[in-house]
Amino acid sequence: MGVADSDVQTRIGHETPLDAARLWTDVLDYVRPRVSREGFETWLTPTRGCSLSSSVLEVEVPNSFFADWLSQHYSAEVRAALSSVCQREMSVSFRPRESMDTGVLIKRAPARRPVAKQNGYRLQPHLSFENFVVGESNRLAVAAARSVAERPGASYNPLFIYGGVGLGKTHLVQAIGNLALASKPGLKVYYTAADDLFVELIQAIEKNTRIEFKNKYRRLDLLLLDDIHYLVGKERLQEEVFYIFNSLHDAGSQVVFTSDRPPQDIPALEGRLASRLGSGLVVDIQAPELETRIAILKQKAAMDHAELPDDVAYFVAARVRTSVRALEGSWIRLLALASLDDRPISVALAQEALKDLVREEEPADHNRIIKVCADHFGVTVKDVTSGGRTKQLALARQVAMYVLRATLSLSLKEIGGLFGDKDHTTVMHAIKRVGNLKASDPAFAARLEKLSQGISRGEPR
């Protein structure tokens, strides 16, 4: 019988392909939680384990562009997975599916993104100032960061950089470390994130190596401590961080902090660092404006040796506003799709690449939001967007700014532009005021909630 025959063949004659597929699935299961979801779906989902020898697992990938990308970006994770799921030494070879291997992009040099390798200072060389695009949204932070990198301990100490997720904080502190080290090779630099520090501290407590732990940090010339909002609610970690910070500060060593919120929103920190933050500088990074987003996309494309036409850059940048990380994700998605389908990078392709990633934002969205807010306060759009100064108008305008920020994640500058070119500090003040009102006045909070629901239901038009 045909069915029985093939069944036997599968088990006996074709045991190898079956094992290859299963092994690769195990590897993928191991890798999945360790990489970004988007990266996994883009690069690893279209792959398949296809043959297995005693020491090599061959994996079929859509084309050679994928093979290059996977080797450059995922080999560390794949290696770790293999050593976890295999009993013996194994390596992986990515084999492009021949029939598809004719793409335009693919014939170009493979992407030369530096591999995210860390050195003893836990710095990644490609996170440099050269690769960081400067715009209005981050100009001050970049200037401060450069100054600290050029004269650690002598300009702003500590430097405190805050901003939303994916806006470049880690990149910027890594750039400080890289530049400082390049100018003074002997400098004792160390980068760590607060959650890693926590793990290290726990281990030091378990292994009774607290002294070594303290000494390691006390000896530094430059400590880059990322994501210190993680300290909230962790008393023990706070103690250690203050100890480390104080001894470094007393010794004139430089400390740089990053956080997703300003120091005053981390109460434990504010209280204890307050006097010393005074001798330093607190700077924020805002979401990049359209021009900066376009420049960032262009820079990412250049790093990948790919051509990005202006209209496509504009199309993507106009739609992906929330973070640089999201922008980068969209670009990678676009690049993968171009290579997969062997199509040039065009607006049509971008439309396809972005359709699951971002909600299409109608250009008219912000107008509608302003209209809903104006209606809610019984004033006209014109009153709200021009300079009228009555109390009611001011509040309507501030609420509109708040809602625009919350729903469309427009940059402060973009919001200011919608209200007769208001300064970004005015917009920031408005958003803060509405946030405070919302926190202190339940009736106002309820009104705001109702307003937001009206906006998400798309009414009134």
CB of 74 to ligand ADP, least distance (A): 16
Parallel, antiparallel or unpaired: strands 91-96 and 159-163: unpaired
If the CB atoms of residues 62 and 263 are measured against ligand ADP, the closer one turns out to be 263
If the CB atoms of residues 230 and 315 are measured against Mg ion, the closer one turns out to be 230
If the CB atoms of residues 101 and 227 are measured against ligand ADP, the closer one turns out to be 227
Which residue in this structure is represented by tokens 């405070």? 436
If the CB atoms of residues 138 and 254 are measured against ligand ADP, the closer one turns out to be 138
Can you tell me the distance from the alpha carbon of 252 to that of 263, in angstroms, rounded to the nearest whole number?
21
If the CB atoms of residues 300 and 366 are measured against ligand ADP, the closer one turns out to be 300
If the CB atoms of residues 32 and 298 are measured against ligand ADP, the closer one turns out to be 298
Query: DSSP 3-state assignment of 156?
Result: coil
Task: Tell me how crowded residue 378 is: count the other CB atoms within 10 A of its CB.
Answer: 9
Question: In this chain, which of 67, 176, 296, 384 binds ligand ADP, going by CB under 6 A?
Answer: 296
Q: How many residues bind ligand ADP (CB under 6 A)?
A: 17
Can you tell me the distance from the alpha carbon of 364 to that of 295, in angstroms, rounded to the nearest whole number?
24
**Sheet holding 56-61: strands in order across?**
48-52, 56-61, 91-96
Stretch in the footprint of ligand ADP (CB under 6 A) among 68-76, 105-113, 321-329, 398-406: 321-329
The string of DSSP codes covering 312-373 is: HHHHHHHH--S-HHHHHHHHHHHHHHHHHHT----HHHHHHHHTTTS----TTHHHHHHHHH
If the CB atoms of residues 79 and 325 are measured against ligand ADP, the closer one turns out to be 325
Residue nearest to ligand ADP (CB): 168
| Separate counts of helices (H) and strands (E) for the chain | 21, 8
CB of 237 to ligand ADP, least distance (A): 19
Query: Which among Mg ion, ligand ADP, none contacts residue 321 (Cβ within 5 to 8 A by kind)?
Result: none
Can you tell me the distance from the alpha carbon of 334 to that of 313, in angstroms, rounded to the nearest whole number?
11
CB of 344 to ligand ADP, least distance (A): 24
Which residue in this structure is represented by tokens 């106002």? 444
Identify any residues that bridge with 56 across adjacent strands, giving them in sequence order: 91
Kindly identify the residues of this chain, within the stretch 121-180, that bind Mg ion according to CB under 5 A.
169-170
Can you tell me the distance from the alpha carbon of 299 to that of 134, in angstroms, rounded to the nearest whole number?
11
Does 291 bind ligand ADP (CB under 6 A)? Our answer is no
Kindly identify the residues of this chain, within the stretch 328-347, that bind ligand ADP according to CB under 6 A.
328
Question: In this chain, which of 218, 325, 433, 438 binds ligand ADP, going by CB under 6 A?
Answer: 325
**Which residue, among 189, 201, 205, has the nearest Cα to 122 in the 3D structure?**
189
Stretch in the footprint of ligand ADP (CB under 6 A) among 48-56, 130-138, 371-379, 386-394: 130-138
Does 324 bind ligand ADP (CB under 6 A)? Our answer is yes
If the CB atoms of residues 324 and 430 are measured against ligand ADP, the closer one turns out to be 324
Does 39 bind ligand ADP (CB under 6 A)? Our answer is no
CA distances from 199 to 72, 202, 205, 244, 434 (A): 28, 5, 10, 16, 38
Per-residue contact flags (x/-) with ligand ADP for residues 166 to 185, judged by CB under 6 A: xxxxxx--------------
Give burial (CB, 10 Å; 0-12/13-18/19+) of 171. buried
CB of 299 to ligand ADP, least distance (A): 6
Does 132 bind ligand ADP (CB under 6 A)? Our answer is yes
If the CB atoms of residues 97 and 325 are measured against Mg ion, the closer one turns out to be 325
Does 138 bind ligand ADP (CB under 6 A)? Our answer is yes
List the beta strands (DSSP E) in 34-124. 48-52, 56-61, 91-96
Does 165 bind ligand ADP (CB under 6 A)? Our answer is yes
Stretch in the footprint of ligand ADP (CB under 6 A) among 84-92, 128-136, 213-221, 344-352: 128-136
Can you tell me the distance from the alpha carbon of 305 to that of 112, in angstroms, rounded to the nearest whole number?
8
**What amino acid occupies position 318?**
A
CB of 226 to ligand ADP, least distance (A): 7
Question: What are the structure tokens assigned to 327, written together?
Answer: 């922008």
Helix (H) or strand (E) holding 439: helix 424-440
If the CB atoms of residues 196 and 361 are measured against Mg ion, the closer one turns out to be 196
If the CB atoms of residues 61 and 326 are measured against ligand ADP, the closer one turns out to be 326
Instruction: Indicate if the alpha-carbon torsion angle 388, 390, 392, 394 is positive or negative.
Output: positive
CA distances from 338 to 62, 102, 124, 129, 346 (A): 12, 12, 28, 29, 9
Query: Which among Mg ion, ligand ADP, none contacts residue 398 (Cβ within 5 to 8 A by kind)?
Result: none
- The region, left, alpha or beta by phi > 0 then psi within -120 to 50, assigned to residue 166 is left
Stretch in the footprint of ligand ADP (CB under 6 A) among 90-98, 126-134, 147-155, 269-277: 126-134
Which residues of the shown chain bind ligand ADP in the complex (CB under 6 A)?
Answer: 131-133, 138, 163, 165-171, 296, 299, 324-325, 328
Which residues of the shown chain bind Mg ion in the complex (CB under 5 A)?
Answer: 169-170
